[in-house]
Protein backbone atom coordinates (compact mmCIF):
# COMPACT_ATOMS: atom_id res chain seq x y z
CA UNK A 1 0.00 0.00 0.00
CA UNK A 2 2.78 2.47 0.96
CA UNK A 3 4.65 1.72 -2.27
CA UNK A 4 1.53 2.42 -4.37
CA UNK A 5 0.92 5.68 -2.47
CA UNK A 6 4.56 6.71 -2.82
CA UNK A 7 4.57 5.96 -6.56
CA UNK A 8 1.32 7.89 -7.06
CA UNK A 9 2.68 10.82 -5.07
CA UNK A 10 5.92 10.78 -7.07
CA UNK A 11 3.97 10.84 -10.33
CA UNK A 12 1.76 13.65 -9.03
CA UNK A 13 4.80 15.72 -8.06
CA UNK A 14 6.45 15.04 -11.42
CA UNK A 15 3.26 16.21 -13.16
CA UNK A 16 3.18 19.34 -10.99
CA UNK A 17 6.84 20.04 -11.81
CA UNK A 18 5.98 19.69 -15.50
CA UNK A 19 3.14 22.19 -15.08
CA UNK A 20 5.48 24.60 -13.28
CA UNK A 21 8.06 24.36 -16.06
CA UNK A 22 5.40 25.01 -18.69
CA UNK A 23 3.79 27.86 -16.77
CA UNK A 24 3.09 31.09 -18.66
CA UNK A 25 0.88 32.78 -16.01
CA UNK A 26 3.33 35.67 -15.65
CA UNK A 27 6.31 37.16 -17.50
CA UNK A 28 9.13 35.49 -15.52
CA UNK A 29 9.44 32.40 -17.73
CA UNK A 30 10.47 34.59 -20.68
CA UNK A 31 14.00 35.28 -19.44
CA UNK A 32 14.48 32.14 -17.37
CA UNK A 33 16.76 29.33 -18.50
CA UNK A 34 15.12 26.77 -16.20
CA UNK A 35 12.17 26.51 -13.91
CA UNK A 36 13.06 25.80 -10.30
CA UNK A 37 10.15 23.83 -8.84
CA UNK A 38 11.95 22.55 -5.75
CA UNK A 39 13.55 19.35 -4.54
CA UNK A 40 13.57 16.95 -1.66
CA UNK A 41 11.82 13.85 -0.37
CA UNK A 42 8.06 13.53 -0.77
CA UNK A 43 7.78 12.54 2.88
CA UNK A 44 9.82 15.48 4.19
CA UNK A 45 8.76 16.67 7.62
CA UNK A 46 10.39 20.04 6.98
CA UNK A 47 9.82 22.31 3.99
CA UNK A 48 11.99 25.37 3.41
CA UNK A 49 10.41 28.15 1.35
CA UNK A 50 12.35 31.08 -0.07
CA UNK A 51 11.34 34.03 -2.23
CA UNK A 52 12.59 33.19 -5.73
CA UNK A 53 15.45 31.45 -7.51
CA UNK A 54 18.67 33.33 -8.23
CA UNK A 55 21.07 33.15 -11.17
CA UNK A 56 22.78 29.90 -10.12
CA UNK A 57 19.44 28.25 -9.48
CA UNK A 58 18.26 29.39 -12.92
CA UNK A 59 21.34 27.79 -14.48
CA UNK A 60 20.66 24.40 -12.90
CA UNK A 61 16.95 24.26 -12.07
CA UNK A 62 17.80 23.46 -8.43
CA UNK A 63 16.83 25.63 -5.43
CA UNK A 64 19.25 27.23 -2.99
CA UNK A 65 22.54 26.15 -4.53
CA UNK A 66 24.20 29.58 -4.74
CA UNK A 67 26.15 31.25 -1.92
CA UNK A 68 23.07 31.64 0.30
CA UNK A 69 22.10 28.03 -0.34
CA UNK A 70 25.54 26.74 0.54
CA UNK A 71 25.45 28.77 3.75
CA UNK A 72 21.96 27.49 4.55
CA UNK A 73 23.11 23.89 3.99
CA UNK A 74 26.11 24.49 6.28
CA UNK A 75 24.05 25.96 9.14
CA UNK A 76 21.43 23.22 8.83
CA UNK A 77 24.18 20.57 9.00
CA UNK A 78 25.74 22.25 12.04
CA UNK A 79 22.38 21.71 13.73
CA UNK A 80 21.98 18.09 12.67
CA UNK A 81 19.58 18.77 9.79
CA UNK A 82 20.52 17.19 6.46
CA UNK A 83 19.61 19.11 3.31
CA UNK A 84 18.55 15.85 1.65
CA UNK A 85 15.95 15.31 4.39
CA UNK A 86 14.07 18.57 3.75
CA UNK A 87 12.03 19.77 0.78
CA UNK A 88 13.37 23.09 -0.52
CA UNK A 89 11.40 25.40 -2.80
CA UNK A 90 10.51 29.03 -3.42
CA UNK A 91 7.27 30.92 -3.69
CA UNK A 92 8.16 31.99 -7.25
CA UNK A 93 9.40 29.23 -9.54
CA UNK A 94 11.37 31.24 -12.14
CA UNK A 95 14.21 33.72 -11.68
CA UNK A 96 13.25 37.39 -11.70
CA UNK A 97 15.26 39.93 -13.72
CA UNK A 98 18.32 41.12 -11.77
CA UNK A 99 17.07 38.99 -8.86
CA UNK A 100 14.56 41.69 -7.96
CA UNK A 101 11.74 41.02 -5.54
CA UNK A 102 8.88 39.35 -7.44
CA UNK A 103 5.91 41.57 -8.23
CA UNK A 104 2.57 40.75 -6.58
CA UNK A 105 1.10 39.32 -9.81
CA UNK A 106 4.13 37.00 -10.16
CA UNK A 107 3.69 35.79 -6.59
CA UNK A 108 -0.05 35.31 -7.17
CA UNK A 109 0.68 33.28 -10.33
CA UNK A 110 2.94 30.87 -8.41
CA UNK A 111 1.08 30.51 -5.11
CA UNK A 112 -1.23 27.75 -6.41
CA UNK A 113 1.86 25.65 -7.21
CA UNK A 114 3.31 26.14 -3.74
CA UNK A 115 -0.07 25.32 -2.22
CA UNK A 116 -0.14 22.05 -4.20
CA UNK A 117 3.42 21.21 -3.13
CA UNK A 118 2.50 21.74 0.52
CA UNK A 119 -0.59 19.54 0.16
CA UNK A 120 1.41 16.76 -1.55
CA UNK A 121 4.35 16.74 0.84
CA UNK A 122 2.37 17.44 4.03
CA UNK A 123 5.32 18.76 6.06
CA UNK A 124 4.99 19.20 9.80
CA UNK A 125 6.99 22.45 9.72
CA UNK A 126 7.42 25.06 7.01
CA UNK A 127 10.41 27.34 7.42
CA UNK A 128 9.87 30.68 5.68
CA UNK A 129 13.24 32.05 4.61
CA UNK A 130 13.10 35.85 4.68
CA UNK A 131 10.35 38.44 4.80
CA UNK A 132 9.05 37.78 1.29
CA UNK A 133 8.44 34.11 2.03
CA UNK A 134 5.81 35.06 4.61
CA UNK A 135 3.39 35.30 1.66
CA UNK A 136 3.32 31.50 1.56
CA UNK A 137 -0.16 30.02 2.08
CA UNK A 138 -0.90 28.91 5.64
CA UNK A 139 -2.54 25.54 5.99
CA UNK A 140 -4.04 24.24 9.20
CA UNK A 141 -2.06 21.65 11.10
CA UNK A 142 1.35 22.89 9.92
CA UNK A 143 3.74 24.86 12.13
CA UNK A 144 5.25 27.89 10.39
CA UNK A 145 8.58 29.36 11.38
CA UNK A 146 9.80 32.66 9.94
CA UNK A 147 13.59 33.00 9.87
CA UNK A 148 16.14 35.45 8.53
CA UNK A 149 17.05 34.77 4.90
CA UNK A 150 20.51 33.16 4.67
CA UNK A 151 21.77 35.87 2.28
CA UNK A 152 20.94 38.56 4.87
CA UNK A 153 22.55 36.43 7.57
CA UNK A 154 25.73 36.29 5.50
CA UNK A 155 25.87 40.09 5.19
CA UNK A 156 24.93 41.32 8.66
CA UNK A 157 26.45 40.02 11.90
CA UNK A 158 23.36 40.59 14.06
CA UNK A 159 21.16 38.87 11.50
CA UNK A 160 23.64 36.01 11.27
CA UNK A 161 23.51 35.51 15.03
CA UNK A 162 19.69 35.53 14.97
CA UNK A 163 19.57 33.18 11.95
CA UNK A 164 21.83 30.68 13.70
CA UNK A 165 19.66 30.84 16.84
CA UNK A 166 16.51 30.33 14.74
CA UNK A 167 17.93 27.24 13.02
CA UNK A 168 19.12 25.89 16.39
CA UNK A 169 15.58 26.39 17.74
CA UNK A 170 14.20 24.52 14.72
CA UNK A 171 16.56 21.64 15.43
CA UNK A 172 15.60 21.63 19.12
CA UNK A 173 11.89 21.64 18.20
CA UNK A 174 12.48 18.72 15.83
CA UNK A 175 14.28 16.72 18.53
CA UNK A 176 11.67 17.49 21.18
CA UNK A 177 8.82 16.45 18.89
CA UNK A 178 10.56 13.47 17.22
CA UNK A 179 10.42 15.08 13.77
pLDDT tens digit sequence for 83-95: 999 999 999 999 9
Return averaged pLDDT per consecutive 10 residues of the chain, 179 residues in all: 60 93 95 96 96 95 96 98 98 94 94 95 96 88 96 96 98 93
pLDDT tens digit sequence for 54-79: 999 999 999 999 999 999 999 999 99
Distances (CA, A) of 86 to 32, 64, 66, 119, 173: 25, 12, 17, 15, 15
Domains: count for the chain = 1
pTM of the model: 0.93
Write the CATH number for 32: 3.40.470.10
Domain that holds residue 110: 2-176
List the beta bridge partners of residue 142: none
Amino acid sequence: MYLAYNRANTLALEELNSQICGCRRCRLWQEAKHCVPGEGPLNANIMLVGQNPGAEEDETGRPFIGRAGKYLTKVLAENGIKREDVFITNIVKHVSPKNRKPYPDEVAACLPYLNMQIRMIKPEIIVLLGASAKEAPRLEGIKYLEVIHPSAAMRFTKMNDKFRIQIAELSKHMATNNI
